[in-house]
Chains A and B, each alone.
Chain A
Amino acid sequence: MLGRVVSARCASAICYTSQALEVAAPPLTPLIERLVDALGADAVLWEPEDLAVYSFDAFSEDCLPAVAVLPRNARDVSAIVRIARDCGQPIVARGAGTGLCGGAVPVAGGVVVSFARMNRMLELDVPNRRAKAQPGVVNLELSKTAQPFELFFGPDPSSQKTSTLGGNVATNAGGPHALSYGSMINHVLGLEFVDDAGEVVRVSQDDAGYDLTAALVGSEGTLGIVTAIDLRLLRVPRALRVFIAAFGDVETASAAVSAIIASGTVPTALEIMDRTIVRAIESHYHAGFPLDVGAVLLVEIAGEPEDMVAGEAEIETIVRGHGALSWRSAADAAEREALWASRKGAAGALGRIAPNYYIQDATVPRTRLPQAVQRVEEIAKAHRLQVGNVFHAGDGNLHPLLLFDRRERRQVEAVVSAGTEILTACIALGGTISGEHGIGYEKRETLPYVFSANDLAAMGRVRDVFDVRRSFNPDKIFPSSASCAEVLPSRTA
């Protein structure tokens, strides 16, 4: 995020921002005054320099909010919603700001609600394998808290050291282990949220009636503001192995993954990294990935101790039969952890080879992986862009990283076009435009490529139930006929 200049490109934010900059000591707006009254001055930020950190996430857009607030509990959130509603201001909930699609960017200005102070574990119920957490709890913290009891939390997005459970709920986050454990939707047992009237509502998947929990997970902050989350924990597997297979190229590795899935074996993780990515992470982490190969496949199996030998043999046979150049097992837990840490740090390591990257997120049916990877390569080539591939192959979830330099206008334009072409190609292969990052601001205009007007209207009915005024995270997910800002992929690596 170095050298980021906060701009007010978004129409509705311009007016407030320019006012704030012009007047030396602006009188507090009624919005800010009321928030200070309700939450205390230390919970409310309104100076532009304080607001800058709430203006962006890991996507390229930045827009200053009118105010940022840091609630301590659901009652505070409820007050914020009521005040914002009275003042006609939109509300954007924010976790750690690691979202890749602009979901936390206040593109329409208004109030950003940061969960930095609502970061407590509320309950750990070991016998029933459940936890209750505030939305600001960092994903990895949950597993760390549960670990002494031989429990862990399934979803493990690469951002898990930073990203929060609230943000994970919003995007229906996944991660490498979604292959066997599923995404957030499969782990959220219930939610407490504040609705558009400021009421605190508690829902559970065990309630009689409509599954409102399922409706809220993945809704990207557009249906309510989550204030507590009930989560399912899993038992730490008694045996775990990690393997590395090397391949001549990504297509061959992808074909091997398709073959593993088709054989009816589902490992806990199947991750592919291409040469570009492997080189970047090896120079950064020295984890021991083979360097001079076209692609590396990371395989994890877990289960009962007596199943490990047969499990390895089965996958090794398939992988070798599909052109693997080598196959080896991680020696011990330390090496396994090192391999995983470097895999999850892949995007960060790219700073060594290009000033900027643009990460795409698309999913295809798993048998279509080789074609999808090939199309990505063709598209990148046609636009004269370098591409790195690091992805959740077992789920068919691609993450091509387009490398570029934002100072080069041609490259920026090429990245935008290539990104859209990749999504279109994945749709043509029977896939979709987000596997785990969400739609946010970035892909809202692409959503109609996947869903018809009727499909979107049905989703709109749900939105109407929860937020008819469109005050929760406006201008996200749903397409607009007139976009408020030019979208430039310009993430700094």
Chain B
Amino acid sequence: MSVAGPRRKRVPASDEERARAQLAIGDITPRSVYAPESPEALAELLRACDRDGRAVVFFGGGTLQGVGHAPSRYDVAISLANVAQVIAYEFSDLTIAVEAGLRARDFDATLAAKGQFVPLDAPLPERSTVGGILASGWLGPRRAAYGRPRDFIIGASLVLADGTIAKAGGMVVKNSTGYDLSRLYVGSLGTLGALVRANFKTLPLPQARRVALARLPDGTFRRAVAHVAALETEPTVALAIAGFLDEIEGRDGSEGRLFAMFEGTPATVERATRELRSALGAAGVPETTILDEAGTRVYQQILDAYVSRLGNRTATYRSVGLPSDVVARAEALARLARVHELEVETILDLRCGDVIARVSDKIATQFAARVVEFDDALANVLSNVRILTAPEALRNRLAMWGSSTVALAKMRELKAHFDPRNTLAPGRFVGKI
């Protein structure tokens, strides 16, 4: 097994086996690992792989590789860790151009140093990369207030399967000049090419942030959710959490917790917190705790929990839908999980409408059998569902993208036009594209 290639970053021989094992997806371990150091080197490498019929999977921090099916073929892992520069930070323009391999934490820190941010809401930001967040179509809870990562992309450099480098969009905040392909690459899971550089518009950081956390005693869950949804001053984030006791602090064994985050001016945040307290009080919730510094930490724990995996005995689903039926979908999901004798923990995103549901069992072998049946039955209950993480061995037995097949023919054509030799992450995407 050789680790070789153009402008390769040599991995020490002793670490090679381990490096490859970490890059396994499903039951396939790549034969080679490359970490090109420039977009041009990446382009050269891709051209060679495409020509030689070697299938490629791109890697960022690996935090969201749980998304999608296992590849049907997988010869080469290409890490973008060495393509990680901040290309241009025009902070007075509120725009920034960065390379794909930049860690989310470094991206956030660069922006914060100038009092700005882009609401990526990355899980595990010390590992996850800007490119990985974009490629995986990651969606965080703050999108209801600020918009999706896609809404902040204003341009990109793309490396196509045949090694062509194409740019899209630009470095301006308003643009109707031709098709903006950068948006099409967001969420394409590296199946159309590599989004190697991304240009964003940024926002000024809110002056104040306040987090409120409340225990929801038995019988208050539904009322608390309804009261929070009707708040006059909307929280930036409002989540109703049941379970995740090991991941998210503030545990006490109660039925659920309500997490609300407000961002804005100090005066607004102050008033919003008062409104929340009285709304929750009216719902029968005895106590609401205000967290300031700790609030940001708890928020990150929640984001991390979306993708956390407990050995081979959990799978995490995201149900996408309208905020108005978030409770109904969560209950349907939980009911079905119990029918299949699975434990279930949920995070309800009251503003975005997501239900994050982690199903688990204490015994891994038992879990596999049960979750496969659960997954099969789920298709009849909810259509717009996808899996955020599941045991590697189950990837090809679960409906990783849900049962929806909207516009699949168009998507197949798109893939065929951008990657005619099926070099890029074959089989990973919707409909095994």
Contacts and interface: CB of A to CB of B under 8 A. Distances in A.
* A in complex with B: yes
Given A201-B410, A457-B164, A174 B171 contact: no
A436 B174 contact: yes
B113 interface: no
A310 interface: yes
- B166, B192, B271 pick with most chain A CB within 10 angstroms: B166
Contact of B90 (A215, A365, A450, A457): A365
Contacts of B172: 363-365, 395-396, 430-432, 435
Interface in A445-493: 447, 450-452, 454-459, 461-466, 477
B173 A366 contact: yes
Contacts of B401: 208-209
A308 to B, nearest CB: 10
Contacts of B181: 458-459, 462
A367 B90 contact: yes
Contacts of B164: 454, 457-458
Nearest to A427: B170
A365 B167 contact: no
Chain B CB within 10 Å — which of A212, A432, A447 has the most? A432
Interface stretch (B34-42, B46-54, B318-326, B373-381): B318-326
Interface string A154-194: 00000000000000000111100010001101100000000
Given A215-B184, A454-B164, A454-B165, A462 B324 contact: no
Interface residues of B, number: 72
Contacts of B305: none
Contacts of A178: 174
Contacts of B205: 264
Interface stretch (B73-81, B121-129, B413-421): B413-421
B323 A127 contact: yes
B428 to A, nearest CB: 12
Contacts of B13: none
Contacts of B1: none
Contacts of A306: 265, 267-268, 271
- Looking at chain B's contact residues, the main secondary structure is loop
Given A211-B183, A462-B179, A455 B166 contact: yes
A397 interface: yes
B192 to A, nearest CB: 8
B162 to A, nearest CB: 10
B167 A207 contact: no
A210 B187 contact: yes
A331 B160 CA distance: 55
A447 B411 contact: no
B233 A304 contact: yes
Contact of A367 (B92, B175, B179, B386): B92
Interface string A245-278: 0000000000000100110111000000000000
Interface string A204-220: 11111111101100110
B135 to A, nearest CB: 12
B268 A307 contact: yes
A19 interface: no
A306 B264 CA distance: 11
How big is the A interface, by class?
Answer: 35 or more
Contact of B174 (A211, A435, A462): A435
- Residue of A183, A185, A452 with most partner-chain B CB within 10 A: A185
Interface string B261-284: 000110110010000000000000
A406 B302 CA distance: 64
Contacts of A458: 158, 160, 164, 166, 168, 181
B173 A447 contact: no
A18 interface: no
B93 A211 contact: no
A433 interface: yes
A397 B175 CA distance: 9
Contacts of B171: 365, 430
B253 interface: no
Interface in B151-192: 151, 158, 160, 164-168, 170-181, 183-184, 186-188, 192
A316 interface: no
A216 B402 CA distance: 24
A207 B93 contact: no
Nearest to B413: A465
B203 interface: yes
Nearest to A203: B407
B384 interface: yes
A218 B406 contact: no
Interface string A361-373: 1011111000000
A321 B430 CA distance: 55
B429 interface: yes
A130 B431 CA distance: 29
Contacts of B267: 304, 306-307
B90 to A, nearest CB: 6
B7 interface: no
A182 B267 CA distance: 26
B94 A439 contact: no
Nearest to A395: B174
A365 B174 CA distance: 10
Nearest to B173: A395
A397 B170 CA distance: 13
B417 A464 contact: yes
Contacts of A128: 322-324, 353
B384 A208 contact: yes
A173 B184 CA distance: 19
A435 B175 contact: yes
B406 A455 contact: no
A60 interface: no
B429 A209 contact: yes
B390 to A, nearest CB: 15
Nearest to A447: B178
Contacts of B186: 211, 214
Nearest to B320: A206
A449 B171 CA distance: 15
B183 A455 contact: no
B116 interface: yes
A214 B402 contact: no
Contacts of B188: 210-211
A455 B167 contact: yes
B404 to A, nearest CB: 6
Nearest to A222: B179
A173 B175 CA distance: 9
A218 B176 contact: yes
A202 interface: yes
Contacts of B433: 209
B360 to A, nearest CB: 23
Contact of B404 (A208, A235, A366, A392): A208
Given A235-B234, A434-B176, A438-B176, 16 more contacts: A173-B176, A201-B410, A203-B406, A209-B433, A214-B183, A218-B176, A262-B91, A303-B265, A307-B265, A434-B175, A455-B167, A456-B178, A457-B164, A458-B158, A462-B181, A462-B184
13 contacts: A127-B324, A201-B407, A205-B148, A211-B186, A214-B183, A215-B179, A264-B205, A265-B204, A266-B94, A304-B268, A435-B176, A451-B178, A458-B168
Interface of B: 90-95, 115-116, 137, 147-148, 150-151, 158, 160, 164-168, 170-181, 183-184, 186-188, 192, 203-205, 233-234, 264-265, 267-268, 271, 320-324, 353, 384, 386, 401-402, 404, 406-408, 410-411, 413-414, 417-418, 429-431, 433
